[in-house]
Amino acid sequence: MNFLTAFNKEFLEQRRTRKFLIALVVLVLFGMTSPLMAKMTPQIMTMVPGGEAFVGLIPEPTINDAVAQYIKNITQFGILLALVFSMGSMTVEKDKGTAAMILSKPMPRGSFLLAKFASLALTFIIAVVIAGVAAYYYTYFLFGQMNLLNWLTLNGLIVLYILVYIAITLLYSTLTRTQYVAIGLSFGTLIFLGILGSLPGFGINLPDALISNASLLMSGYPVTNWTGLWVSLGIIVVSITTAWLVFRKQEL
């Protein structure tokens, strides 16, 4: 068995377990509704008891509001799904003996691990692409045209941001014995990187800077610091490489 065979198996498993469908439905739904939620914020406020008094204080929604709503929803739910989908990728396979059976084919352990990452990556790439198309259409309909190149860049940065946490969770899933420990460590890392990312002068070098840069691009501001991009790519490479180095020495 080679990488392509393992990848096809893993992606089939994504569809069979409904992970692909769940990611697609959730992200596309938020892609469609984010511009609508931004547009209807003043109307929603009038439905809240006493909210009429604050409606006049809310500025008229703009494209930037729609983009901000989209970024918030897609990143939050994308990361949540990525952690949940990745947490048992290695621990469950090892616990059930599936990994030992597949690797006896024979299957290189590196291909086995990389296929898991690639199949999860493809699931979220497809989901974000379709969500981005839906959001672009509804934003154009409700607010007007956006810069297409910047929009494509924004969604590419969102995908990379999600891939960072898929790689981290796969690493923890390889290192630990249970999926619950893996997701606990992943959430801890998410919070830790979020805290570091909020530090002035330091956060621009971490994965959270991907989202900040995406927002700047869509607001028409130039982005001069792309350190966070290279750090994110480095985290992915280091996480997958470390997982492989550990996995190849584990007894199954």
203-246, pLDDT tens digit by residue? 888 999 999 998 888 888 888 889 999 999 999 999 999 998 98
124-157, pLDDT tens digit by residue? 999 999 999 999 999 998 888 899 999 999 999 9
- Centre a 10 Å sphere on the Cβ of residue 118 and count the other Cβ atoms it contains: 17
Please tell me whether residue 81 adopts helix, strand or coil conformation.
helix
pLDDT of residue 159: 96
Burial class of residue 46 (count of CB atoms within 10 Å of its CB; 0-12, 13-18, 19+): exposed
- Which region holds residue 218: left if phi is over 0, alpha if psi is between -120 and 50, else beta? alpha
> 18 is written with which tokens?
């409904």
pLDDT of residue 154: 95
The yes-or-no verdict on residue 39 having pLDDT over 70 is yes
pLDDT of residue 118: 94
pLDDT of residue 98: 63
Closest by Cα among 92, 95, 89 to 119: 89
73-115, pLDDT tens digit by residue? 999 999 999 999 988 777 766 656 566 566 666 767 788 889 9
186-213, pLDDT tens digit by residue? 889 899 988 888 888 888 889 999 999 9
46-61, pLDDT tens digit by residue? 655 555 555 555 667 7
Instruction: Give CA–CA dist 27/150, Å, rounded.
Output: 20
Instruction: Give CA–CA dist 234/196, Å, rounded.
Output: 17
116-129, pLDDT tens digit by residue? 999 999 999 999 99
Mean pLDDT value of segment 20-27? 95
Residues 6 or more apart whose Cβ sits within 8 Å of residue 63: 139, 143, 144, 146, 218
Residues 6 or more apart whose Cβ sits within 8 Å of residue 121: 163, 166
DSSP string, 168-196: HHHHHHHHSSSHHHHHHHHHHHHHHHHHH
Sequence letter at residue 3: F
The yes-or-no verdict on residue 158 having pLDDT over 80 is yes
Q: Where do the structural domains in the chain lie, given as residue ranges?
A: 3-247
Instruction: Give CA–CA dist 71/56, Å, rounded.
Output: 26
pLDDT of residue 46: 61
- How confident is residue 180, by pLDDT bands cut at 50, 70 and 90? confident
pLDDT of residue 93: 66
- How confident is residue 28, by pLDDT bands cut at 50, 70 and 90? very high
pLDDT of residue 56: 57
